[in-house]
Amino acid sequence: MTTADQPVLPSTDELRARARASLERIGVSPPDGADLAARTPLTGEDLFGLAASGPGDAERAIEAAHEAFLAWRATPAPKRGELVRRLGELLRAHKEDVADLVTVEAGKIRSEALGEVQEMIDICDFAVGLSRQLYGRTIASERPGHRLAETWHPLGVVGVISAFNFPAAVWSWNTAVALVCGDTVVWKPSELTPLTSLACDGLLARAAAETGAPRAVHQLLLGGRDVGERLVDDPRVALVSATGSTRMGREVGPRVAARLGRSLLELGGNNAAVVAPSADLDLAVRSIVFAAAGTAGQRCTTLRRLIVHRDLADPLVERLAAAYGKLPVGDPFDARTLVGPLISTAALDRMRETIARSEKEGATLLAGGERRLADAAPHAAYVAPALVRAPEQTAVVREETFAPVLHVLTYDTLEEAIALHNGVPQGLSSSIFTRDQREAEVFLSPEGSDCGITNVNIGTSGAEIGGAFGGEKDTGGGRESGSDAWRAYMRRATNTVNYSGTLALAQNVSFL
């Protein structure tokens, strides 16, 4: 935000003090060291030096989580739910503190940082209910006097690897559900958001102490990809749930598969919305701007491609360009700001490269793209979200650039719109804006969007926790959060019980 051309950003000292105060209220002291820097994208400067976890720490954490699992799996699920209920209560009490850390480390604007913590509270509520609903089925047996059923059992240690852009919520989706399922968790958060992870771990430790759960059900490992790789390669880690780029997923998936472990991959998206001729344009414009420019374009579900019917393209683009021109970019703690900083100047470089490549491929930059506040914060990366009109879906449009660049494409028939929509490697989130029920149903049908999330008259981002979250193709195929995503965190046993007193073999086989 600028006031009379005077940029007002908090200083690194102020942000350091704010982060320390939040951690203190939560009851956590960061481990002093020089291996890893806690950093803030608000100024692009370091806050504290931290000790990272070494190979010995990783070994100890996995062993402790494995030992804890042996007892935790035998604790009744509703009792396990009490730990998660307490975590949810502590998150309510420290909502502002965790949100402060999310803003300091990930640069989210206030309402989105608070929204991220709300999502954690919501998944805790969901998981507490789930702790009494880990249902198996009873299946009709083909034999008299037999009962056929399935039972869901705890799986083991879950290794959670998470990305910088949801530094707390993704952890909670995995951890709240894994804990009620009877698993224990070892978490390797993004190296860019260590303070937020220390806060989450601290709150869970308090919840464990207050409910009598073993502290070792949750372990935190700080560090980079080398620390993550220890979880990937260790056979005691039954499930690796990894959220991040498709590049990371391509490294992690095959390594876990090589040891026949399970993985749950939540990777990049390149999400699109179709705007059909009957769309309510007021609603569409607001949805599009939030989905494309919100979170400074740094959500996996960010809207990156807009596929507009040719008849609407000019007026819609004009309205979007006007809205983009008014987006306040700046200090995410300022309630007037809608767009905070990018995570790093490297992300800004990638955004500029994308726009330059797109222009080379024939596209026109219609709004935004310019760096802001460079004098006030030379190490930070504030940028005006970019709106680009592309003549076709070129190579650069088919890639995920993790920054606010929205490419606008045009179509003539719904079939063509769906082909453009599905013509990218990723398959996370999608929308159609239409008042035509037939079009909406086609978009949701097997011949429609090929994504894991398919919406009508709402943008691509901002999913609720009640649904299963995840996507297809290069997005990795995993599902987390609500619905029956919990099944990925458990193992299924099929039970045949013979109470007939005689032996009857299946398929009428006779033997002895």
Site string for ligand NAD, 475-494 (x = CB under 6 A): x-------------------
Please choose, out of 15-23, 246-254, 317-325, 386-394, the segment that lies near ligand NAD by the rule CB under 6 A: 246-254
Q: Residue 74 in contact with residue 194, Cβ under 8 Å?
A: no
Report the distance separating Cα 331 and Cα 347, nearest Å. 18
> Strand 405-411 to strand 303-309: parallel, antiparallel, or no bridges (unpaired)?
parallel
**Which of 400, 439, 450, 474 lies at the binding interface for ligand NAD (CB under 6 A)?**
400
Structure token pair of residue 175: 């951890």
Nearer to ligand NAD, 85 or 479 (CB): 479
Report the distance separating Cα 164 and Cα 223, nearest Å. 13
Q: To the nearest whole angstrom, how small is the minimum distance from the Cβ of residue 31 to ligand NAD? A: 18
Q: Taking CA 49 as the corner, what is the angle to CA 380 and CA 118, rounded to the nearest 5 degrees?
A: 65
Q: Residue 330 in contact with residue 1, Cβ under 8 Å?
A: yes
Q: Tell me, what amino acid is at 480?
A: E
Q: To the nearest whole angstrom, how small is the minimum distance from the Cβ of residue 103 to ligand NAD? A: 17
Nearer to ligand NAD, 159 or 332 (CB): 159
Q: To the nearest whole angstrom, how small is the minimum distance from the Cβ of residue 242 to ligand NAD? A: 6
Using the structure block, give the residue that is written with the tokens 């940029």: 7
Report the distance separating Cα 303 and Cα 430, nearest Å. 8
List the interface residues with ligand NAD, window 203-232 (CB under 6 A).
224-225, 228-229, 232
Nearer to ligand NAD, 222 or 414 (CB): 222
Q: To the nearest whole angstrom, how small is the minimum distance from the Cβ of residue 481 to ligand NAD? A: 9
- Selected catalytic residue, list 112, 191, 266, 480: 266
Torsion of CA 169, 14, 3, 100, to 10 degrees: 20
Please choose, out of 115-123, 262-270, 272-280, 387-395, the segment that lies near ligand NAD by the rule CB under 6 A: 262-270
Q: Which residues have a Cβ under 8 Å from the Cβ of 125 and sit 6 or more positions away?
A: 88
Task: Please enumerate, as own/partner, the contacts of 439-442 that have beta carbons within 8 Å and a separation of 24 or more.
Answer: 439/276, 439/278, 439/414, 442/414, 442/418
Q: Is 97 in the site for ligand NAD (CB under 6 A)?
A: no
List the interface residues with ligand NAD, window 405-464 (CB under 6 A).
428
Q: Is 106 in the site for ligand NAD (CB under 6 A)?
A: no
| Phi–psi pair at 140, nearest 5 degrees | -65, 125
- Coil/strand/helix, residue 435: coil
Q: Is 289 in the site for ligand NAD (CB under 6 A)?
A: no
Please choose, out of 2-10, 162-170, 378-386, 492-500, the segment that lies near ligand NAD by the rule CB under 6 A: 162-170
Report the distance separating Cα 254 and Cα 76, nearest Å. 34
Q: To the nearest whole angstrom, how small is the minimum distance from the Cβ of residue 245 to ligand NAD? A: 3
Site string for ligand NAD, 165-204 (x = CB under 6 A): xx---x-----------------x-xx-------------
Nearer to ligand NAD, 201 or 266 (CB): 266
| Phi–psi pair at 506, nearest 5 degrees | -65, 155
Nearer to ligand NAD, 15 or 58 (CB): 58
Structure token pair of residue 342: 């990018």
**Which of 53, 103, 219, 243 lies at the binding interface for ligand NAD (CB under 6 A)?**
243
Contacts with ligand NAD by CB under 6 A: the residue count is: 30
Q: To the nearest whole angstrom, how small is the minimum distance from the Cβ of residue 473 to ligand NAD? A: 12
Q: Is 292 in the site for ligand NAD (CB under 6 A)?
A: no
Q: Is 403 in the site for ligand NAD (CB under 6 A)?
A: no
Please choose, out of 45-53, 245-253, 317-325, 434-442, the segment that lies near ligand NAD by the rule CB under 6 A: 245-253
Please choose, out of 19-27, 175-183, 247-255, 287-295, the segment that lies near ligand NAD by the rule CB under 6 A: 247-255
Q: Is 116 in the site for ligand NAD (CB under 6 A)?
A: no
Q: What is the 3-state secondary structure (H, E, C) of 347-377?
A: HHHHHHHHHHHHHHCCCEEEECCCEECCCCC
Nearer to ligand NAD, 1 or 342 (CB): 342
Structure token pair of residue 391: 């003549």
* Residue 218 backbone zone (phi > 0: left; psi -120 to 50: alpha; other: beta): beta
Q: Is 402 in the site for ligand NAD (CB under 6 A)?
A: yes
Which residues make beta-bridge pairs with 456?
432
Q: To the nearest whole angstrom, how small is the minimum distance from the Cβ of residue 405 to ligand NAD? A: 14
Report the distance separating Cα 286 and Cα 20, nearest Å. 36
Q: Residue 460 in contact with residue 107, Cβ under 8 Å?
A: no
User: Helix H segments across 191-327?
Assistant: 194-211, 225-233, 246-258, 281-293, 310-325
Q: To the nearest whole angstrom, how small is the minimum distance from the Cβ of residue 406 to ligand NAD? A: 15
Packed helices 95-106 and 12-26: angle between N→C axes, nearest 10 degrees? 140
- Residue 266: active-site member: yes
Q: Show which residues are catalytic.
A: 266
Residues that bind ligand NAD (CB under 6 A): 161-166, 170, 188, 190-191, 224-225, 228-229, 232, 243-245, 248, 251-252, 266-269, 300, 400, 402, 428, 475
